[in-house]
């Protein structure tokens, strides 16, 4: 078996993933032991187990990796990271792959097509108001991405409303302009870095 | 004791009962939580999926505000920031940890913060989960001394979920796979703690918005596990866990043909009840699955829940075989 370090030298995609992660995920140390997949609550529903996905990254299978539903089905439970003998930052890699899939325009073609829309709606919302108000978030997301499913969510919405567990209007933070300035600057810096 | 307090969006509304009860309990224990002024959402797990530096900057604004506002003056514990939401706790502690580890990330974030006239020095805030503070700083003895109405006879399944115990970016206070601090706290209140092997398994987080069936199966497993051990209720320490297990319980029953009616309360609600507070004072009555029958066991008369239990619908998709059920599940 080739070591992951030698595999990593052969794949540009591998280096791209590592560079995109917030801190080095140490992906080259993956032993392919499978502990992560065996610990994963979403394992059975994933196109590829985390272990398989890491082998595919090392092999440079860019398309298949970015189309996989695996990162979108990751619920960030951190079981895999807890148990990985190599202390690989698996959950970070999943986030990184989501970001790369969105950037590459693949996210709508995965088998979890609903996930990127939800993430984007959430983000738009926070950027506009500074806090998330659940009703606005849910209705905007469902109306724009899944109009038919919006009906299914109605009973939950009503139940939350009745129990006064839902806001009807957003609660902007006081210094929303400050937050926007910070986020805009962050976007610029990020853009300048990813060439 | 005075701490910085980051409530998070959920506690403002959907998990209002958590906020109400934790404040009531804190007052009893002589702990003060000073809310970080003008905090913003921490982005849950969604934000970071979309943009890296923006996600870190979003969370760092909160750290910068917290560092400024918990500076050791007026008796505040310096740089100690308490989060009751598991997701907020994870996001805040993870970003702080990564900023401390990566000077490049810290300089990018500070560059962004500067656009809003803020800055953050890595290492100046320590993020703590509420449970950690209550069991380790306040301590079990002090909690025990306040118990007026012990929860005798109440069978409680303590649910930790994921992020409070894993991965422990700023240090651990409990075992990452089989934590026990909440068990001990519940015992301190006089409750009977049932074995709950899935206590640190995942409830699916926002998966309900992504793939409903996957999420409902994760929730079903937890409910079944608690029912198998004849728990009267599940106690949680995270608003999202509470919402998933409570509000989606009816959907689980619809999909799997089960009959679960397990109330899901916040651990601070039980603390308040044991301290002798009224159910209303700890926000009881906002839950979907009525907690009154269970609370009757400890003689805490609860106000009416927001609506009567819905009549059971006939099961959908009746071609399927009935699921095997443990006898206890019929309870
Ligand atoms: S547990 Fe770690 S070393 Fe093992 S396959 Fe998963 S990532 Fe690789
Ligand atoms: S963090 Fe994601 S990949 Fe890892 S075990 Fe949990 S769901 Fe699976
Ligand atoms: S994680 Fe949830 S509760 Fe915490 S701040 Fe973000 S949206 Fe609010
Ligand atoms: S159990 Fe669920 S809500 Fe709680 S921390 Fe885990 S994913 Fe989040």
CA distance A30 to chain B (A): 18
Whether the predicted pLDDT of B181 surpasses 70: yes
pLDDT of residue A132: 65
Contacts of A76 in chain B (CB under 8 A): 45, 90, 162-163, 205
Q: Taking the domains of chain A in order of start, what are their residue ranges?
A: 4-109, 115-194
pLDDT confidence of residue B270: 97
Burial class (CB in 10 A: 0-12, 13-18, 19+), B313: exposed
**Contact A118/B206, CB-based, under 8 Å?**
yes
Give me ligand 3 centre to Cα B43, in Å.
6
Q: What's residue A56's pLDDT?
A: 94
Q: What is B149-298's CATH number?
A: 3.40.50.11810
pLDDT per residue over B16-45, tens digit each? 899 999 999 999 999 999 999 999 988 755
- Give the fold, CATH level 3, of A4-109: Fumarate Reductase Iron-sulfur Protein; Chain B, domain 2 (1.10.1060)
Q: What is the length of chain A?
A: 195
Band the pLDDT of A143: cuts 50, 70, 90.
Answer: very low
CB A110 within 8 A of CB A67: yes
Local structure of B216: helix, strand or coil: helix
pLDDT, position A7: 47
| Contact A83 CB / ligand 2 (< 6 Å) | no
User: Mean pLDDT across the stretch B3-11?
Assistant: 90
Segment B193-198 shows an average pLDDT of 94
Q: Give the pLDDT band of residue B328 (cuts 50, 70, 90).
A: very low
Q: Average pLDDT over chain B, rounded to whole?
A: 86
pLDDT category at B95 given cuts 50, 70, 90 is very high
Reading the block at residue B190, the tokens are 């006089």
Ligand nearest to C-alpha A92: 2
How is chain B split into domains, by residue range?
Answer: 2-130, 149-298
- ipTM of the prediction: 0.80
pLDDT tens, residue by residue, A83-109? 999 999 999 899 899 888 888 887 655
pLDDT value of position A3: 45
Highest mean pLDDT among A99-108, A131-140, B41-50, B97-106: B97-106
User: What's the Cα-to-Cα distance from A37 to each of A2, A33, A34, A46, B199, rounded to whole Å?
Assistant: 21, 9, 5, 10, 20
How far is the C-alpha of B203 from the C-alpha of B216, rounded, in Å?
9
Distance CA A32, CA A55 (A): 7
Q: Is the beta carbon of A82 within 6 A of some atom in ligand 1?
A: no
Stretch among A129-133, B58-62, B234-238, B260-264 having the lowest mean pLDDT: A129-133
pLDDT of B323 reads 44
The closest residue, in CA terms, to atom 4 on ligand 2 is: A80
Higher pLDDT among residues A150 and B158, named by residue: B158
Q: Where does chain B show beta strands of DSSP type E?
A: 2-5, 32-35, 76-83, 126-129, 155-158, 192-193, 233-236, 264-266
Question: Once rounded to an integer, what is the mean pLDDT over residues B67-96?
Answer: 86
With CB atoms and an 8 Å threshold, state whether A165 touches B13: yes
A32 Cβ closer than 6 Å to some ligand 1 atom? yes
Q: Is the pLDDT of residue A12 over 50?
A: yes
Distance A80 CA to ligand 2 centre (A): 6
The proportion of chain B whose per-residue pLDDT surpasses 90, expressed as a percent, equals 62
Q: Give the pLDDT band of residue A9 (cuts 50, 70, 90).
A: low
Q: Please say if the pLDDT value at position A121 is more than 70.
A: no
Q: Between these two residues, B160 and A195, which has the higher pLDDT value?
A: B160
CATH class of the structural domain B2-130: mainly alpha
Q: Quick: pLDDT tens for A25-80.
A: 999 999 999 999 988 988 888 999 999 999 999 999 999 999 998 998 888 888 89
């Amino acid at each position: 078996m080739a070591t992951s370090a030698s595999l990593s030298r052969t794949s540009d995609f591998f280096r791209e993933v590592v560079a995109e992660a917030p801190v080095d995920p140490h992906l080259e140390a993956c032993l392919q032991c499978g502990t992560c997949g065996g610990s994963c609550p979403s394992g059975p529903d994933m196109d590829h187990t985390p272990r398989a996905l890491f082998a595919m990254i090392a092999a440079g299978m860019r398309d298949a990796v970015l189309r996989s539903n695996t990162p979108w089905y990751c619920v960030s439970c951190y079981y895999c990271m807890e148990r990985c003998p190599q202390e690989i930052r698996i959950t970070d890699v999943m986030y990184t792959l989501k970001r790369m899939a969105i950037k590459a325009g693949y996210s709508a073609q995965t088998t979890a097509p609903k996930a990127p829309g939800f993430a984007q709606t959430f983000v738009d919302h926070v950027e506009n108001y500074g806090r998330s108000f659940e009703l606005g978030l849910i209705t905007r997301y469902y109306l724009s991405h899944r109009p038919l499913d919006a009906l299914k969510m109605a009973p939950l919405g009503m139940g939350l409303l009745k129990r006064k567990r839902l806001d009807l209007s957003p609660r902007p933070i006081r210094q929303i302009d400050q937050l926007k300035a910070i986020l805009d600057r962050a976007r610029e810096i990020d853009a300048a870095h990813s060439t | 004791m005075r701490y910085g307090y980051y409530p998070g969006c959920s506690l403002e509304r959907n998990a209002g009962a958590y906020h109400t009860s934790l404040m009531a309990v804190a007052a009893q224990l002589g702990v003060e939580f000073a809310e970080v002024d003008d905090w913003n959402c921490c982005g849950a797990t969604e934000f970071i999926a979309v943009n890296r530096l923006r996600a870190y900057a979003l969370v760092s604004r909160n750290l910068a505000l917290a560092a400024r506002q918990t500076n050791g003056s007026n008796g505040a514990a310096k740089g100690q920031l308490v989060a009751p939401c598991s997701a907020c706790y994870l996001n805040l502690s993870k970003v702080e940890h990564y900023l401390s580890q990566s000077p490049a990330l810290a300089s990018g974030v500070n560059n962004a913060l500067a656009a809003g006239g803020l800055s953050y020095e890595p290492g100046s805030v320590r993020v703590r989960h509420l449970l950690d503070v209550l069991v380790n700083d306040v301590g079990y003895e002090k909690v025990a001394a306040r118990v007026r109405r012990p929860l005798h006879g109440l069978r409680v399944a303590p649910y930790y979920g994921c992020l409070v115990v894993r991965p422990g970016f700023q240090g651990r206070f409990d075992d990452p796979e089989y934590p026990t601090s909440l068990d001990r706290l519940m015992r301190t209140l006089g409750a009977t703690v049932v074995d709950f092997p899935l206590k640190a398994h995942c409830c699916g987080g926002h998966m309900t918005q992504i793939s409903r069936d996957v999420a409902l199966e994760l929730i079903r497993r937890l409910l079944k596990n608690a029912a198998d051990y004849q728990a009267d209720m599940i106690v949680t320490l995270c608003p999202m866990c509470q919402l998933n297990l409570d509000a989606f319980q009816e959907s689980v029953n619809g999909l799997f043909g089960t009959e679960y009616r397990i109330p899901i309360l916040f651990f601070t609600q039980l603390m308040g009840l044991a301290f002798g507070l009224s159910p209303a004072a700890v926000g009881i009555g906002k839950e979907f699955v009525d907690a009154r029958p269970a609370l009757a066991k400890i003689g805490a008369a609860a106000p009416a829940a927001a609506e009567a239990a819905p009549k059971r619908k006939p099961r959908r998709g009746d071609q399927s075989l009935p699921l095997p059920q443990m006898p206890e599940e019929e309870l």
